[in-house]
Amino acid sequence: MLKKCITTLAATSFTLTSAGNALAAWQEIGQNEQTVVLVDVATLKVEGTKAQMMSMLSFKKTGKDPQTGEFVNSIVGLNEYDCSTAQYRPLEVKMFPSRDGKDIKVAPTVVPKPYVFEAVKTPDSAFEPIENGSWAAGVFNVACRTK
């Protein structure tokens, strides 16, 4: 269900570009008319044929979570990639109303709303194949490029 929600919010095809040499927290790896895909290579952990890394989908147009109805402008997730089989699975996903995966600052007179929606943790999710041209393929290429 989590992958269906993300797929509903994000486009599945991206024009991928190579990650830059600068080691910023978030590095853009591709985009299309609807979404920018970023990775945080500082979070990359490799063990055997598996790699984990944080990635962000930043939407150019506000999306809506089909489960909660909340407006979503970015999704930050920790995914695990099986570099030997080109599969992935989500471990944790957070949805944000901001486009940069950060809390939004509001004036004290504004009624506070949650700045990050509840994190969805799925440590036992099954691995699924990665579709060519998808955001997951771009992140896989960065996470598994040393394999």
Give the pLDDT confidence of 83-140 residue by residue, as tens digits: 999 999 999 998 888 777 765 444 444 444 444 566 788 889 999 999 999 999 999 9
Average pLDDT over residues 71-84: 93
**In whole angstroms, what is the distance from residue 25 CA to residue 113 CA?**
26
Q: Which range, 11-25, 66-80, 105-119, has the best average confidence (pLDDT)?
A: 66-80
In order of their start, the domains of the chain are 2-11+25-143 (2.40.128.710)
Report the candidate in 57, 51, 65, 11 with the shortest Cα–Cα distance to residue 34.
Answer: 11
Tell if the pTM clears 0.75, that is, is over it.
no
Average pLDDT over residues 51-62: 94
Mapped onto helix, strand or coil, the DSSP state of residue 29 is strand
**In whole angstroms, what is the distance from residue 136 CA to residue 64 CA?**
20
Of residues 61 and 70, which shows the higher confidence score?
61
The secondary element (H helix, E strand) that includes residue 115 is none
Average pLDDT over residues 72-88: 94
Report the candidate in 51, 37, 32 with the shortest Cα–Cα distance to residue 89.
Answer: 51
pLDDT band at 2 (very low <50, low <70, confident <90, very high): very low
